[in-house]
Amino acid sequence: MVLRLPHPRRSATLLATLATAAAVAAAQVPEPPPEAAYWERPVWPAALPAVVEPAPRADDRGYDVLHYDLDLRLDPTAGSVAGSVELTLAFPAGRPPDTLVVDLDEPLAVDAVGWDQSPTTLARAGEELRIAAPAGAAAGAVVRIDYHGHPQRHGAYSAGMLFRVQGDSPQVPIGPTVLTMSEPWSAHAWWPCKDHPADKATVRLALTVPDSLTAVSNGRLVADEPAEPGWRRTVWETGYPTSTYLVAVLVAGYAAWEESCDLAGGPLPLTFHVFPRHEAAARFDLAPTCDMLGFLEDLVGPYPFADERYGQVEFKWGGAMEHQTCTSLGSVVLRGDGRFRNLVLHEMAHHWFGDLVTPADWPDIWLNEGFATYCEALWLEHEEGPAGLRRRMASIGPGQHPSLFEGEGLLADPEPVLPNLLVYHKGAWVLHMLRGALGDDAFRAFLRDWVGSPQRAYAHATTADLVRVAGEHAAFDAAAFLDPGCTPTPSPTCRGRPAPSRPPTAARA
């Protein structure tokens, strides 16, 4: 994701600074002196003031979701959702827990719960549904939850599912839209799920919306047909494991087109859905999509969702989000001058760093944002040479926006998880430092190992994993090198302590 701001609990001044720094820093920062060694460790940025929000949820529920099947009717004018979600389950212990805990925000009403088509009992406690498991329940069980209501703003971004009926200007209204923004833990603000990033599942979404609108989601389009008069039912399905925060629903009166991108594994469908008034701008700004995918394939390996598509969808949000196969871009990105193509690249890079290899839990979110931010710099290096890389890294150094960095930064256990520029900029700098120490060839091998290993691909990883994998590619003690920034034990933290003055001399060539 790139930061979406403003946040209601922040000052207007800080908000403006954050938004500007996140979006346009590269364009405004002067070139550093040529003699500056770009791998030099900056003075570490530190944590932003805390935002009070729920603690991350532990992944200790005693069940694993294999598949979600959502069948939802969305009324943009009423701001309502109604339908059912079926969860297909496995049980690591061989039997289900006595009580199945599923997340669902309190404003949404549950109409019925069934376990393998038999009614079962339900208790509600805050944002948890506690569902009684019947005797004899076994792996492959399907739990169905019928529900309805008006999703409310939720979580770090006051998001979840947002219904917007206003235009973006009185003269040229966009019309009604629905969007979801669930990172880090607001998916359950609009659908019942086990809202934890480490539990990935395949997903099918049947979305019934007014027939003047188009509903877009993850994976492959498998059906699009009239429903009752005035409504349309569109079905999307992904066979790739997907974290709940990466499941998206985007509804608007879109202009749409498709392209094909020849990648190493064959042609990949590219889909584009934008507000009609922005189509010309989007066609220009998104023109490098295929080149960027090719660049990332060369850098780290095959596009991970090649059996489905790479989609980009405009939404009424002030940032962008790496929804799996369905990247969502705020209108601010589509200016028609290519100014924010780094953000197009950023969200695309998340398909390897975040979507394919997902944080085991939210304290590891820098593994998403650090890599995606560093990929922006690598793209500029690819396009412009070393000057592009230096300019980008300087632009995200703390010297450019010292007001954001106060106190001591915790990279791998940030407070708050989001929004927090620290995990982007310091994360990218840790990787940049690691590259300087490893050398380019070993760093590329490390990247390809990080996303390509079956231990992590289509699964999840931790900061401790990163330290270990870096060590496997280093001719020096990577754990010691990273220790000032990333201590793997007893709990992963990255502190702003003084670093070694330089990476090993031999690695700088």
Angle, vertex CA 148, rays to CA 252 and CA 327, nearest 5: 35
Q: Which is nearer to Zn ion, 1 or 428 (by Cβ)?
A: 1
Task: Give the bridge partners for 225, in sequence order.
Answer: 233
Angle, to 10 degrees, between the axis of helix 366-384 and the axis of helix 386-395? 140
The structure tokens listed for 124 are 């509600």
Considering only 143, 293, 372, 494, the residue that binds Zn ion (CB under 5 A) is: 372
Distance CA 334, CA 281 (A): 6
Q: Which is nearer to Zn ion, 1 or 250 (by Cβ)?
A: 1
The structure tokens listed for 187 are 């998916």
Residues 6 or more apart whose CB falls under 8 angstroms from that of 397 comprise 42, 425, 429
Question: What is the smallest separation between the CB atom of 80 and Zn ion, expressed in angstroms?
Answer: 30
Mark residues 332-371: x for contact with Zn ion by CB under 5 A, - for none. -------------------------------------x--
Question: What is the smallest separation between the CB atom of 250 and Zn ion, expressed in angstroms?
Answer: 18
Closest CA to 184 of 350, 53, 48, 70: 53
Question: What is the smallest separation between the CB atom of 61 and Zn ion, expressed in angstroms?
Answer: 27
Distance CA 179, CA 223 (A): 20
Q: Which is nearer to Zn ion, 314 or 369 (by Cβ)?
A: 369
Q: Which is nearer to Zn ion, 65 or 321 (by Cβ)?
A: 321
Q: Which is nearer to Zn ion, 72 or 292 (by Cβ)?
A: 292
Q: Which is nearer to Zn ion, 204 or 350 (by Cβ)?
A: 350
Distance CA 115, CA 112 (A): 10
Task: Give the bridge partners for 83, in sequence order.
Answer: 72, 147
- Size of the residue set binding Zn ion (CB under 5 A): 3
Question: What is the smallest separation between the CB atom of 421 and Zn ion, expressed in angstroms?
Answer: 11
Residues 6 or more apart whose CB falls under 8 angstroms from that of 454 comprise none
Q: What are phi and psi of 369, to 5 degrees?
A: -80, -30
Residue 1 interacting with Zn ion (CB under 5 A):
yes
Q: Which is nearer to Zn ion, 53 or 369 (by Cβ)?
A: 369
Question: What is the smallest separation between the CB atom of 98 and Zn ion, expressed in angstroms?
Answer: 39
Angle, vertex CA 122, rays to CA 118 and CA 126, nearest 5: 150
Question: What is the smallest separation between the CB atom of 347 and Zn ion, expressed in angstroms?
Answer: 7
Distance CA 67, CA 204 (A): 8
| Nearest residue to Zn ion, by Cβ distance, number only | 1
| Whether 411 contacts 486, CB under 8 Å | yes
Strand order in the sheet with 122-125: 99-103, 128-132, 122-125
Closest CA to 322 of 287, 259, 264, 365: 365
Q: Which is nearer to Zn ion, 372 or 451 (by Cβ)?
A: 372
Question: What is the smallest separation between the CB atom of 457 and Zn ion, expressed in angstroms?
Answer: 19
Mark residues 80-109: x for contact with Zn ion by CB under 5 A, - for none. ------------------------------
Question: What is the smallest separation between the CB atom of 396 and Zn ion, expressed in angstroms?
Answer: 13
Q: Which is nearer to Zn ion, 1 or 470 (by Cβ)?
A: 1
Question: What is the smallest separation between the CB atom of 399 and Zn ion, expressed in angstroms?
Answer: 22
Q: Which is nearer to Zn ion, 87 or 372 (by Cβ)?
A: 372
Question: What is the smallest separation between the CB atom of 419 and Zn ion, expressed in angstroms?
Answer: 11
Alpha-carbon 459 to chain mean position: 14
Q: Are strands 214-216 and 220-226 parallel, antiparallel or unpaired?
A: unpaired
> 134: which DSSP letter?
P
- Looking up tokens 């076994």 gives 138
Which residues bind to Zn ion, rule: CB under 5 A?
1, 369, 372
